[in-house]
Amino acid sequence: MFLPQEVIRKKRDGQTLSAEDVRQFVAGITDDSVADSQIAALAMAVYFRGMELEENVALALAMRDSGRCLHWADLQLPGPVLDKHSTGGVGDVVSLMLGPLIAACGGFVPMISGRGLGHTGGTLDKLSAIPGYNPFPTPERLRQVVREVGVAIIGQTSDLAPADRRFYATRDITATVESIALITASILSKKLAAGLDVLVMDVKAGSGAFMPSMADSIALAERIVEVGNGAGVRTSALITDMSQPLASTAGNSLETAEAVRYLKGDERNPRLHAITMALCSEMLLAGGLAASEDDARLQLEQALDSGRAAEIFARMVAELGGPADFVEHPARYLAPAPLVRPVYAERSGFVAAMDTRALGMAVCALGGGRRLASDQLDYRVGLTQFVELGQWVAADQPLLLIHAADEAGADEAARRIRSAISLSEAAPAALPLVYQTIHRR
């Protein structure tokens, strides 16, 4: 007889849960036979006691199996099924270019993405800025788009890893979100449900990262790589820098427009390009689509230069309900903010540090991000033309441009921005874009 309190007791006392313990507890989360108080108790026990690798694998798999799983074998796709997941940040628009790039190189990308919350922008919100884009196609339509186009970027439906949704909601109100074991299981349950062959993680470090320290970012990346491989998906991770916004823009319509410019070759922010190429290269190598790093880079550059990646993005948008000419004429469909205002430094100096999280919260203050999951977004607002770390800024030079709905929003954002960007007499040491790549031991 299954008793949830006995599973809680075992973990509280530091014992290792069996795969059956985990499976039964997750089944109880799914069918509501386990109470919220019991979920909270187990989450707190895991927070303090942690999980062995085998337990963590069992939890990720059980939450995966709590709902529908995607399968691709019957489609006989001529390439591997791959995906990337980022722990998020500010100006992290990589997914919009990465999916089409991988598809242009022979991969198939069913990317299940989330909405933004707090200072981090959500891939789903960026695509939802496109009129008509449907991020929740039927399973049959998703499979058709992935087969015919090579990529579909969609949202998590209610039947995908439903146990994770309830588990996370309980963690969110019981101060147990920060558990590395539970973060790992939450991320992987959804990615495993997508039926992937390969997963590459982008774990951020720096002032805009989800994890509070470099050590925590590395620990999370190592655990995800271990659990992902233990669950049967070839998983690796890159630790990348989020000490400043990644793109030249932050805000939903603004980032979507930047992704189009990137794919068309009109503008490619060097930092954004470097991270996109690093993640795509890792995916091609892990998926057996490239023989070497040089081969991967060559394929990716050809996909960009030929226009193939841009064409695939355009097809994905059209197949999921967006305008057929979106890539050719994005300005027709992405409404601008009514007010654009520069924010000036109060003195001259080198950009010494950025509180990237605070910059993300400035976007939220403009209406471009969520404090609560139920918040409605203003897709038009955001920030553009960021100065960069180490750059010399004169007192009459803008730190960035604010795109706002009104003067009050612009004033609040400007206040946050001036507090978030520090100037000094000396330039700071340059930071690497990729700190570390982690593979299975």
Assign 3-class secondary structure to the chain.
CCCHHHHHHHHHCCCCCCHHHHHHHHHHHHHCCCCHHHHHHHHHHHHHHCCCHHHHHHHHHHHHCCCCCCCCHHHCCCCCEEEEEECCCCCCCHHHHHHHHHHHCCCEEEEEECCCECCECCHHHHHHCCCCCCCCCCHHHHHHHHHHHCEEEEECCCCCCHHHHHHHHHHHCCCCCCCHHHHHHHHHHHHHHCCCCEEEEEEEECCCCCCCCHHHHHHHHHHHHHHHHHCCCEEEEEEEECCCCCCCEECHHHHHHHHHHHHHCCCCCHHHHHHHHHHHHHHHHHCCCCCCHHHHHHHHHHHHHCCHHHHHHHHHHHHCCCCCCCCCCHHHCCCCCCEEEEEECCCCEEEEEECHHHHHHHHHHHCCCCCCCCCCCCCCCEEECCCCCCCEECCCCEEEEEEECCHHHHHHHHHHHHHHEEEECCCCCCCCCEEEEECCC
Q: Is residue 222 within 8 Å of residue 97, measured between CB atoms?
A: no
pLDDT by position in tens, the chain (length 441): 899 999 999 999 999 999 999 999 999 999 999 999 999 999 999 999 999 999 999 999 999 999 999 999 999 999 999 999 999 899 999 999 999 999 999 999 999 987 766 666 689 999 999 999 999 999 999 999 999 999 999 998 889 999 998 998 899 889 898 899 999 999 999 999 999 999 999 999 999 888 889 999 999 999 999 999 999 999 999 999 999 999 999 999 999 999 999 999 999 999 999 999 999 999 999 999 999 999 999 999 999 999 999 999 999 999 999 999 999 999 999 999 999 999 999 899 999 999 999 999 999 999 998 776 677 899 999 999 999 999 999 988 999 999 999 999 999 999 999 999 999 999 999 999 999 999 987
How big is the CA angle at 293 (ends 288 and 295), to the nearest 5 degrees?
75
Alpha-carbon span 57 to 19, nearest angstrom = 9
| Site of tokens 């404090």 | 371
Two tokens at 173?
């109100």
Q: What is the pTM of this model?
A: 0.95
- What are the structural domains of the chain? 4-50 (1.20.970.10), 73-329 (3.40.1030.10), 335-424 (3.90.1170.30)
Alpha-carbon span 26 to 35, nearest angstrom = 11
> Which positions are catalytic?
83-86, 123, 171, 186, 190-191
